[in-house]
Amino acid sequence: MRGLRGPLEGRRILRAEVRVPGLRWPLPGDLAERLSCRRVERLERRAKYILVHLEGAEALMAHLGMSGRMMVLPRGSNRPPEKHDHVTFHTDEGMEIRFNDARRFGMLDLVAAEKLATHRLLRDLGPEPLTQAFDGAYLSRVLAGKISPIKAALLDQRLVAGIGNIYACEALFFAGISPKRLARSVPGRRAEALAAAVKDVLTRAIEAGGSSLRDYVQSDGELGYFQHQWAVYGRAGAPCPSCGGERGVVVMRMVQSGRSTFYCPRCQR
> Which pLDDT score is estimated for 212?
45
Indicate which CATH number applies to the domain containing 104. 3.20.190.10
111 belongs to a structural domain: yes
Tally of domains within the chain: 2
Residue range(s) defining the domain that contains residue 85: 2-115
Looking at the fold, whether 100 and 142 belong to one and the same domain comes out as no
251 belongs to a structural domain: no
Looking at the fold, whether 104 and 200 belong to one and the same domain comes out as no
Looking at the fold, whether 102 and 28 belong to one and the same domain comes out as yes
131 belongs to a structural domain: no
> Which pLDDT score is estimated for 66?
83
- pLDDT tens digit sequence for 207-217: 876 654 444 44
Indicate which CATH number applies to the domain containing 214. 1.10.8.50
The dihedral sign for the CA sequence 77, 81, 84, 87: positive
42 belongs to a structural domain: yes
Looking at the fold, whether 70 and 159 belong to one and the same domain comes out as no
- pLDDT tens digit sequence for 152-209: 999 999 999 989 899 999 999 999 999 999 999 999 999 999 999 999 999 988 887 6
Report the predicted TM-score, pTM, of the whole model to 2 decimal places: 0.86
Listed residue (159, 157, 59, 35) closest to 115, CA to CA: 59
